[in-house]
């Protein structure tokens, strides 16, 4: 006979898993293939779709598997993400911060105010590689977060290459598109209306993630996240 305390512990763990499962926020981005510079995006909370599907822009050269890849077959033919390849990372990534030009916010995710000298370092030889920092004046390669256009007026930090593996890509965001149907250099972009909608929906307590893949990886994603089995993007 199984001891009562073991049954009770199992039921508690199961109940907790179901609760976590139902509250998970997933931003799902699916491209036709690894060379696609356009994709479709849908948001899910548990197994419920939250907004209408939207079109987004990916890297000019499509997708490449990110350094934290948990989806692809990891064989020698896989296209891997590297610095400067103009490819958006494919894989599963946490969404950690919202950033923008406004000084104050009321988002449910930590907010980063974009000050004049705030930069993201893409110098692979720097100790601050793939970090957002205040410029110190000796950085060799970086991008200013406060731009002359509206692309970073509001954006979401994709926690890609969190261990800062040298040369595997940096400064990956979801942000406002430069123009409709215009590829990026590695980020995921969309209209201001849509990025605002997603930013206002995100909640750090619901463990928001980005699942960004080519359609060929749909079966693997459903194995990892069965709540997405009814998603039309994965059919």
State the chain's mean pLDDT as an integer: 90
What token pair was written down for 35? 């060379």
Higher pLDDT, 178 or 6: 178
Predicted TM-score of the model (pTM): 0.89
What local confidence, expressed as pLDDT, does residue 139 receive? 81
Residue 71's SS3 state is coil
Give the residue-averaged pLDDT of 42-69.
96
User: Does pLDDT of 154 surpass 50?
Assistant: yes
Higher pLDDT, 68 or 80: 80
- Of the pLDDT bands very low, low, confident and very high (cuts 50, 70, 90), residue 137 is confident
Query: Where do the domains of the chain lie?
Result: 25-234
User: Does pLDDT of 16 surpass 60?
Assistant: no
The DSSP string of 133-188 is EE--S--SSEEESS-SSSTTSEEEEE--STT--TTS----EEEE-SSTT--BSSSE
What local confidence, expressed as pLDDT, does residue 74 receive? 66
**Cα separation of the two ends of the chain:** 44
- Of the pLDDT bands very low, low, confident and very high (cuts 50, 70, 90), residue 69 is confident
Q: How far is CA 107 from the centre of its chain?
A: 17
Which residue in this structure is represented by tokens 């020698």?
76
Contact 175, 156 (CB under 8 A): yes
Q: How far is CA 91 from the centre of its chain?
A: 9
Phi, psi of 6 (to 5 degrees): -70, -40
pLDDT in tens, 84-128: 999 999 999 999 999 999 998 999 999 999 999 999 999 999 999
- CA gap 143, 135 in Å, rounded: 10
What token pair was written down for 25? 């926020």
- CA gap 173, 171 in Å, rounded: 6
Percent of the chain with pLDDT over 90: 83
């Amino acid at each position: 006979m199984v001891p009562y305390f073991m049954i009770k512990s199992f039921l508690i763990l199961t109940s907790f898993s179901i609760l976590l499962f139902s509250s998970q926020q997933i931003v799902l981005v699916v491209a036709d293939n690894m060379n696609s510079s356009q994709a479709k995006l849908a948001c899910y909370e548990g197994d419920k779709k939250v907004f209408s599907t939207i079109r987004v822009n990916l890297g000019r050269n499509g997708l490449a598997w990110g350094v934290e890849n948990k989806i692809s077959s990891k064989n020698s033919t896989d296209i891997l993400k590297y610095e400067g390849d103009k490819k958006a990372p494919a894989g599963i990534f946490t969404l950690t911060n919202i950033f923008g030009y406004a000084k104050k916010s009321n988002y449910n995710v930590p907010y980063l105010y974009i000050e004049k000298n705030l930069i993201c370092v893409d110098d692979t030889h720097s100790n601050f590689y793939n970090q957002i920092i205040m410029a110190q004046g000796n950085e060799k390669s970086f991008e200013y977060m406060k731009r002359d256009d509206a692309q970073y007026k509001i954006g979401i930090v994709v926690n890609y290459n969190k261990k800062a593996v040298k040369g595997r890509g940096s400064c990956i965001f979801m942000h406002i598109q430069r123009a409709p149907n215009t590829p990026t250099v590695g980020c995921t972009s969309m209209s201001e209306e849509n990025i605002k909608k997603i930013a206002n929906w995100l909640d750090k307590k619901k463990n928001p993630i980005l699942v960004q893949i080519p359609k060929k990886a749909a079966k693997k994603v459903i194995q990892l996240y069965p709540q997405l089995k009814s998603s039309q993007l994965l059919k």
